[in-house]
Amino acid sequence: MTMPGIVCCRNGLYAVGCALIAWLMLSIMLTGSVNAADIQKNDFRLSFNKSGHWQTAWVHANPWWPPNKDRRESLGGPDVAMRRYPGGAAMWCEVAKELEVYGINGIQLESSVNAPYYNVFRAVFEGFQAAGNQRKVVFFLGMHGNNIVADTVKFFTTLQAELSHPNLYKLDGRPVIVMYSASGHAPEKLQEVFAAVEEKFGPMVWLMDAMNAKPDLLRRFLPYLDGISMYANWGSGTQQKIFSELVPVMRQEFSHKIFEAAVQNNYFNHS
């Protein structure tokens, strides 16, 4: 198959603000020739309609690099920001408008489950709703600590109202969750997390960060997951090598899974 059109990173993305770690996530679901029944016979995740994710584009954002952050840090000198943003929900309203300009569906907002930024998530949802342009928010959760089952349940318990927010991104009615550092846990442990969360809040879509994944890691984890995403920070040579290894595996062995492919390079990381 041919890959959908890739949106190239240019300086225009800078206008989204320093909160947005500037790379695009071109969400692609690859099709392969392996028999679907053979692929899914050892799969622990239930099938659902993933077609709505096709050709969506996302950027990562984190609460500690908000768009209105002073660019000088502690080094002094002028603040060279291209534009000035307000604070709170009004800031995120402006971000949502910038996303629409560049055809980006929304942000994957980072937070660790054991050190959550609840108030930032609430401000983002409020701002995105005020923008009125249907930009969406994805939970991008760092699976840190030794109590990830309890911590993840607590995270969604605290933000339970936001699980029904119109600007939360969902596929087939399921909130989409991207996990950072998930491969530091056994896949069976992640399965415990999913079971505990979904028992209380209903089905969700779980994607694992596979930035530096190898084929064997994908084969170990993907039967427990709905797909992969990528927290990218690399040059074009590294990107080419990674995709030369991962694309055949995703296409031939996991064509029924979501494959978010990172499109960026070193020069746009934390731009």
* pLDDT one-digit tens code per residue, 59-76: 989 898 888 887 776 666
**pLDDT value for 66:** 87
What pLDDT, in 10s, does the model give residues 173-207?
A: 999 999 998 999 999 999 999 999 999 999 999 99
**pLDDT value for 241:** 87
- Asked, for residue 3, whether it belongs to a domain, the answer is no
**pLDDT value for 35:** 54
Number of structural domains the chain divides into: 1
List C-alpha distances in Å: 106 to 20, 76, 202: 10, 33, 23
Structural domain range at position 129? 11-71+92-268
The residues of the chain scoring below 50 in pLDDT are 1-25, 28-34, 36, 267-271
Measured CA angle at 138 (ends 135, 143), to 5 deg: 165
DSSP-assigned letters across all residues of 58-83:
EEEE-TTS-TT--TTTTS-S----SS
CATH number at residue 26: 3.20.20
- Asked, for residue 79, whether it belongs to a domain, the answer is no
- Asked, for residue 108, whether it belongs to a domain, the answer is yes
- Asked, for residue 181, whether it belongs to a domain, the answer is yes
- Asked, for residue 87, whether it belongs to a domain, the answer is no
Half-sphere exposure of 63 (CA within 13 A, CB side): 19
- Asked, for residue 116, whether it belongs to a domain, the answer is yes
- Asked, for residue 216, whether it belongs to a domain, the answer is yes
**pLDDT value for 39:** 56
The DSSP 8-state label assigned to residue 19 in this structure reads T
- Asked, for residue 115, whether it belongs to a domain, the answer is yes
